[in-house]
Structure 1
């Protein structure tokens, strides 16, 4: 007699569909944002603007898509992640389309900066927060898989943008990217769901009443979380790290061009960051589940600093490619591990809201870092100082985590909420 599997046994755990949807949001949103380096020279040329003023476009967008998590995270906890993710992808598409019609740098600020910035800000924290609730045992792996969309987006989208710019101009390129954001990002966002209990499941597909489900149901309040020593540690660490974390995404291509690298090869360096980032998010996220996410966070911050040291002495395409890959690996690990650390410490009840508040630190760093590096170049015609400052910032960020986590010991709120 053959025993037929039940529907539940035949079905794929829906958490993986949530991961796939979050992956698509990251791929489209951040992939579109990180094409900016490919547009920097055409925009600078057509509008007769300085490198610093053009770099400010990315800084505005970056500030918004991290700062808006302060609002989108709590809204996702209350109303669900799906509507915010869908709205975010629509805003990205509208912003890119509007940028294609810009007639001045100010209009690029408004279209790209506000459209892409607000769009990614609406979608990012709700999407990644939803993933955290669907997993416990494999949370680091699932989170890493979801945010690997950022890495693959960085790998695929800048070369695509470069090809589009060469064939249809930068205005046509923005239109095509906007269509991709609407169709792929908006469509996949419909698969996002906030919590496995709505499907009668617990995290990892377990029965809803087990310990894992209880873990996700409880957790610290937002007030308790942000007043804890560990949250302060994470916030300060992210703030310091992020001053330099996004400088390569804006300035690596022009740096390479300044050192005689052909335009076609220079833009591929962003793809190398994306390849490394994908590997880092995928493998370091899984590794963090085994070696401990605290220690993994310290490791990736240190690795980002060492990669910056390579950039400081790089002068040819192969050395720059080595920097790009190594930096991508550790940057990807940082992005993958951070949300899981928040979930570990503070539980699932308000995870999106807490992540959103944490990411305001990254917003301020993103607003200042890339544009400051551009203005420093305008003054000195060199990127050496911004690169070295970025490396030092990552070391300081790692030391903050070491010192404050060691001090807090087992007194974290997470001990009461796990």
Structure 2
């Protein structure tokens, strides 16, 4: 059976008619296997990446480094995975996701193993930054694009479940890291993480398949979409929010420890963010199928911004938990809905490449945010000024998204110049 249909997710000028191998492949059990593989892959890579807060103090203490220098390890890592997104997305679009994900498995395992034997902090910028950065880049954008291409009716729901793996990994990663560090030390913990992530990602690479629709060359002209006003609003708001979104992942555990919380309880706050983000990613992804993806995306930014107001006044551990819950819900919605917004406004033909370009914004923000916050804390001796600044920046990111509703389907046909 062969059918000719229009992709209903390709709103606007990105709509085109493709020859599909079979309509039955979409939203099928085979398609949901891709969701499962994406969930597991993201759980693995982000569980490691977002556990860095648990390694922060022991690494800083061993190397005698200040907060700004130590947090730069994480910032460089985020910059690398964000900047490589367009490349891994393009390679996945062209050659399929399997070889890209497998390459990421090898890079991540080697990078973590090398980080376990460094004798200078700056070497971690290379080993951890390149290893984990390439690993995340090879897993995230290709796997999200695969999921988007395997679904027609339940695309937003499937994407929400897939990226919920990030939240689940965040829930598990930091507490596991804290427990292992307490018993084995941070170096042996990185070795354990290297073995586990390599095995998991290779298994996901073996499962994942190219989506049923693969058209080369695509009618979507990437340069034209990137220059469109709609994409400009998406990109600038993402740059702005990324400046502050990684700050709690790096500094919230040390903030909690300075306010009397135990090592495990402090690390568990990152897990709370991850747990709340799972609910945000799965719930909003499903709700977007029925309500409206752009407005939900805006709401996620507003919730995320308001959460920093809670952190600013947090003086007890329960208040920190409240901040982590609200921040995680907003962050989860932001991550879950980003691919859905791309598909809604620009279609799915070049989804891997478009997502890759959008996610370079995260690298820009991550390079500025955590090191700047570390510098403010080192200079002032207090977290409050840095948190207040993060609150203002997060509100600005929401304000930048307000005009985006003007570019939904009808406007997108004229603004996102395609073909």
**TM-score normalised over the length of structure 1:** 0.90
When structure 1 is superposed on structure 2, of 184-193 and 139-148 the one drifting more is: 184-193
Distance of 1:408 and 1:262 partners within structure 2 = 48
Q: Which residue number corresponds to residue 293 of structure 1?
A: 293
Distance of 1:123 and 1:320 partners within structure 2 = 31
Q: Which residue number corresponds to residue 375 of structure 1?
A: 375
**Count of residues in correspondence between the two structures:** 393
Q: In structure 2, do the counterparts of structure 1 residues 416 and 371 end up closer, same or farther at CA, with 3 Å as the change threshold? A: closer
Q: Which residue number corresponds to residue 331 of structure 1?
A: 331
Structure 2 residue matching 1:290: 3-state secondary structure: coil
Q: Deviation of residue 323 (structure 1)?
A: 0.7
What residue ranges of structure 2 are gaps of 5+ in the alignment? 1-23
Structure 1 residue matching 2:290: 3-state secondary structure: helix
Q: Deviation of residue 185 (structure 1)?
A: 2.1
Q: Which residue number corresponds to residue 139 of structure 2?
A: 123
Q: Which residue number corresponds to residue 7 of structure 2?
A: none
Do 1:300 and 1:333's aligned partners in 2 also have CA atoms closer than 8 Å?
Answer: yes
Q: Deviation of residue 19 (structure 1)?
A: 0.9
**TM-score normalised over the length of structure 2:** 0.89
The Cα offsets for residues 361-417 of structure 1, whole Å up to 9 and x where unpaired, read as 111001111111111111111222222222222222222221243377832139998
Do 1:280 and 1:333's aligned partners in 2 also have CA atoms closer than 8 Å?
Answer: yes
Q: Which residue number corresponds to residue 182 of structure 1?
A: 198
Q: Which residue number corresponds to residue 155 of structure 2?
A: 139
Q: Which residue number corresponds to residue 264 of structure 1?
A: 264
Q: Deviation of residue 219 (structure 1)?
A: 5.9
RMSD of aligned residue pairs (Cα, Å)? 2.1
The Cα offsets for residues 109-150 of structure 1, whole Å up to 9 and x where unpaired, read as 111111101221122111111111111221111111111111
The Cα offsets for residues 348-367 of structure 1, whole Å up to 9 and x where unpaired, read as 21110011111111110011
Misfit runs of 4+, over 3 Å: 216-219, 413-417
Q: Deviation of residue 334 (structure 1)?
A: 0.4
Q: Which residue number corresponds to residue 193 of structure 1?
A: 209
1:29 maps to 2:45: yes
Q: Deviation of residue 217 (structure 1)?
A: 11
1:214-233 residue pairs with structure 2 within 5 A? 220-233=220-233
Do 2:305 and 2:398's aligned partners in 1 also have CA atoms closer than 8 Å?
Answer: no
Q: Which residue number corresponds to residue 234 of structure 1?
A: 234
The Cα offsets for residues 95-114 of structure 1, whole Å up to 9 and x where unpaired, read as 11111111110121111111
Distance of 1:149 and 1:122 partners within structure 2 = 15
Q: Which residue number corresponds to residue 363 of structure 2?
A: 363
The Cα offsets for residues 206-247 of structure 1, whole Å up to 9 and x where unpaired, read as xxxxxxxx9x99763212211211111101110111110111
Q: Which residue number corresponds to residue 13 of structure 2?
A: none
What residue ranges of structure 1 are gaps of 5+ in the alignment? 1-7, 199-213
1:276 maps to 2:276: yes
